[in-house]
Structure 1
Amino acid sequence: MTTQGFGAQLLDLPAIFLGNFFTIPDYQRGYAWEKKQVEELLKDVEHLMSDGAALRHYTGTLVLGRPLGGAEGEFHVVDGQQRLTTLVIFLRELYERLPDDQKSSFAELYLQRGDLGNERSVLRLNSDTRTFFERVVLVDGNTEHCPISLEAQQRLLDARNQISSWLDEQLNAGVALQAIKQTLELRLGFLVYAPKEDAETGIMFEVINNRGKPLSELEKVKNYLIYCCVKLSANTLRESIDQDWSEILKALNVAKKTSSGDEGAFLRYCLVVHFKLNKTDSQYGYEELKKRISLDKLLAKPESKTQAIKRIAGFVVFMKTAALWYQRLYGPVHHGLEQGIIDILDQIRAQGRHASIMPLFLALVIKLGGKGERLQKLLRLLEILNFRVYMARNMTARNDTGQGDLYWYAARYYHGGLVSEVSPEYRKMGREFVESDEDALEFFLVDFVHAYAAEGRFKASFTLDAESPDDFYKWSGLRYFLMNYEAKLQPKKTIQIDKILLSVNGKKTADYFSVEHIWATKNRVGDGENNRKQDWYQRRRLGNFVLLELRLNIQGCNDDLEDKLVKYLAKGGDEPPTDLQQVRKMGSDAAAVMSSMEGRQRRINFYHDLYDELNNRQEQRYIDFAESRWSLKGFLGNKKILKESAEMVAEEA
């Protein structure tokens, strides 16, 4: 096949495909088009079918590379792979609907060529999606023998289904199949460039794909690392990166962390720990990586090649291990983990806010091998820190306060030497010894918690000033707090703490715990009754809230307390009463308070006084629980800080 005419004119699909084979190199991203991009292509085809002009329509550009040692007509798709892949899917769906006498020549041109037993797809995708593309998307769409494990695979199948539906709609509307075929083959025009390729020009790793789908930071990093392998002639490492990257993407898919933002965050955390990036530099991870693996510098001396290869391999292995822990945390996939570790992972996952602690989390689980009592203790401290500093109400002015320090601790701990940062006078405190990096990390994290969420401030965060506009119902940590409280009340019962991550939409009411106002915002508000400033204050206090099964909340959300308790606690009926101990405790309090108020006329202050007393009782229980549940007692450094606090109070007195 000759490449004459490439780049000089708009070529149609038969001219592009005739005698050629195309491969998406492994350094390229997976299939990234979503419904919007596929729909735009289909609209282009519709417009061309309704346009009577005979001119070709510019559809896009293809940049093709000639692989070293490749046969005539063998091309790598450097740019334009998304559109080309989508068109091949389109052609496959068109083939399915063609008359039998047209199928053979059509398939040989666009889909598959070769003798029986030696057939080869005209378009081969990268190794991550090749098998799925050829066995599912280009066959019958059945995933039974090739299950979906990557988001790119799902997008390929979605594109197939979308195009299939569009074709059926067109044919049902009376559009001729041959009209669609002629439009695809003769009216779509491409500019095709095929420069001679060597080891460098074949790796255009920063190419931006069509239709506003730029490469993510994670994709750029993969492409750069493979580019480095080509420059270093490290073929085995290149193959290893392809395999490991597939595992990374599969793990992120299991963790449901596949958006561009999620992938970018994952990359930042890995760079912070592995390459000791600070918080600011981590925002420019791809550029910073190129500085730390700079080929110009590393290749300046021949002996630097080994160093470069080891540095690349080490980072990829770290990312693969980090992705595995993402899968364990968010999946969750807990095979082979100690029960104590699983319990803490459940707690951390349920917190839902991890940006500040994730580098520390990865540093700990990877360095300590994912097991051991020391790891359990440090992860528990991390959960305490995350709740007290970043989830408790109004502890910090910003969500990323102190984040730079935590990132520094993560990097320094992972690479060793953190213990040297502890002042000598604190190395031995009574019976406490700071002897290892684990000791030092524990010491620094305790100090961090006291700096941003000291005991007094933490305790005060659970009470509400009457003049404050805050409302505990709007506190993002409320459901996490109440789920932990329920777990404490029922220690022998398994409380699925991450039920708080469930959405009410589409869930059975028995599976979803809602937050219930004991004194509902719409209860007894009419005609000015109980609608005063002091009444709204009672409705906003922490003590006014409990978890409740959604089915019960729906039944009595705005009723008087006496009527609610009958629905929540009474035996019998079609539905059992609440299974939540915190509701039972609230019911017990309510019965006692109402008994003490028996005989009082229910005038304007009656409900205020009733709920004020209930709030006082429940709020105190909540505070006592919080001080115990998220206590720093037993951690290194706490005695030192408490001693200093006591001395400071004494001096002020």
Structure 2
Amino acid sequence: MNIKPVHAAVGDVFGDKTVFSVPKYQRGYAWDSDSVQDFISDVDVCYRSRVGGAHREHFLGGILSIKSDIEGVANAVHYQLVDGQQRITTIVLFGYALMDVFSELAGFLDDLELRKRVEHYIKNLKISFVTHEQVVNRVVTSANVLTLSKKDEGYFRGLLAGNEPDCEIDSHEKLLSAMGKVVAYLKEVQNQCDDFAAKVDALEQVHDVLLSDFSMLHMVAENKPDAYRLFQVINDRGVSLTDGDLLRVKTLELLEGYGDEQLAAE
């Protein structure tokens, strides 16, 4: 089994020209309110440590993906997520919300240097967590950093565009709830500051927590059989997936390349 695990900060996992995708047949976003709140609480613990002059690291756990190059793009990597989509999706939601709150704050800033700092973070957060440009066969195109499963992708894309798409299924409700909780937390962080400069400093600290203090174990497989074998080993002893979930993933993996049959089985 050819698996290459790498322990890295979130900022390194979401590196330049990197894109993630969730297989179209995987389940939708499933983190409930408590799981999202636990994530936010972990951010806050590290944030409070930074405010107090200390540095605290937090390990998020592992993700498993299949690595492939992006045709026509030099040094670009595509990771198909086999395990860890809930964690990765929540990180992207947090990164987008932070970018959005920075953008809102920028509209109130008269100090040019302060505004320049904020615009720097807005640009970097967009590239890391939302979209970035790639030159594909000499044509500049926009690449989404994360593409979700078929049932969630349209709603997710609307959410990251700043729209208010209609919730049609439970996973959409959960995505909206997660975004709301993150935004509420970031607003609370700002409200504890006395002036705009302090607000910018506080959001910068949160930014550094997310990208530098948070880390994960990224297990990278070069092919699908290795990835799915490890996926089954990991989850056979877990509590998050049922036997039905495991059977579903294995069945749809075996039908990879047979589009109509895979769709029917899904």
Correspondence for 1:15: 12
Q: What are structure 2's unaligned runs of at least 5 residues? A: 103-117, 194-198
Instruction: Report if aligned partners of 1:21, 1:73 keep a CA contact under 8 Å in 2.
Output: yes
Query: What is the aligned residue count?
Result: 226
Counterpart of 2:64, as a letter, is V
1:112 and 2:120 correspond: no
Question: 1:113 Cα deviation (Å)?
Answer: 1.3
2:177 to 151, 154, 158: 158
> What do you get for the CA RMSD once the two structures are aligned?
2.6
2:217 to 175, 187, 191: 191
Deviations 1:1-54 (A, max 9, x none): xxxxx634x311221111211001124221110100000011111111122443
Counterpart of 2:48, as a letter, is S
Instruction: Report if aligned partners of 2:36, 2:90 keep a CA contact under 8 Å in 1.
Output: yes
Q: How does 1:256-267 map to 2 (within 5 A)?
A: none
Distance 1:213 1:112 in 2: 34
Instruction: Report if aligned partners of 1:141, 1:157 keep a CA contact under 8 Å in 2.
Output: no
Correspondence for 1:122: 145
Distance 2:140 2:28 in 1: 28
Deviations 1:586-623 (A, max 9, x none): xxxxxxxxxxxxxxxxxxxxxxxxxxxxxxxxxxxxxx
1:80 and 2:84 correspond: yes
Question: 1:222 Cα deviation (Å)?
Answer: 2.6
Correspondence for 2:105: none
Instruction: Report if aligned partners of 1:129, 1:152 keep a CA contact under 8 Å in 2.
Output: yes
Q: How does 1:218-233 map to 2 (within 5 A)?
A: 218-230=244-256
Bigger radius of gyration: 1
Report the 3-state secondary structure (helix = DSSP H, G, I; strand = E; otherwise coil) of the residue aligned with 2:60: strand
Report the 3-state secondary structure (helix = DSSP H, G, I; strand = E; otherwise coil) of the residue aligned with 2:8: coil
Counterpart of 1:45, as a letter, is V
Percent identity (aligned): 20
Distance 2:121 2:54 in 1: 26
Taking structure 1 as reference, are residues 7 and 221 closer, same or farther at Cα in structure 2, changes over 3 Å only?
Answer: closer
| More strand per residue | 2
Report the 3-state secondary structure (helix = DSSP H, G, I; strand = E; otherwise coil) of the residue aligned with 2:94: helix
Correspondence for 2:42: 44
Give the structure, 1 or 2, with the largest relative contact order (CA under 8 Å, sep 6 or more).
2
Distance 1:139 1:56 in 2: 31
TM-score normalised by L of structure 1:
0.32
Taking structure 1 as reference, are residues 181 and 108 closer, same or farther at Cα in structure 2, changes over 3 Å only?
Answer: same
Counterpart of 1:107, as a letter, is K
Question: 1:217 Cα deviation (Å)?
Answer: 4.9
Taking structure 1 as reference, are residues 155 and 117 closer, same or farther at Cα in structure 2, changes over 3 Å only?
Answer: farther
Counterpart of 2:14, as a letter, is F
Instruction: Report if aligned partners of 1:66, 1:202 keep a CA contact under 8 Å in 2.
Output: no
Distance 1:111 1:164 in 2: 16
Taking structure 1 as reference, are residues 213 and 129 closer, same or farther at Cα in structure 2, changes over 3 Å only?
Answer: farther
Correspondence for 1:234: 258
Q: How does 1:316-465 map to 2 (within 5 A)?
A: none
Report the 3-state secondary structure (helix = DSSP H, G, I; strand = E; otherwise coil) of the residue aligned with 2:5: coil
Report the 3-state secondary structure (helix = DSSP H, G, I; strand = E; otherwise coil) of the residue aligned with 1:119: strand
Question: 1:141 Cα deviation (Å)?
Answer: 4.4
Distance 2:25 2:240 in 1: 15
Correspondence for 1:26: 24
Taking structure 1 as reference, are residues 138 and 87 closer, same or farther at Cα in structure 2, changes over 3 Å only?
Answer: same
Question: 1:189 Cα deviation (Å)?
Answer: 1.2
Question: 1:237 Cα deviation (Å)?
Answer: 1.1
TM-score normalised by L of structure 2:
0.75
Counterpart of 1:169, as a letter, is E
Question: 1:142 Cα deviation (Å)?
Answer: 0.6
Deviations 1:124-166 (A, max 9, x none): 111111111011x2122412xxx32221111111111111111
Distance 1:41 1:58 in 2: 11
Q: What are structure 1's unaligned runs of at least 5 residues? A: 1-5, 246-653
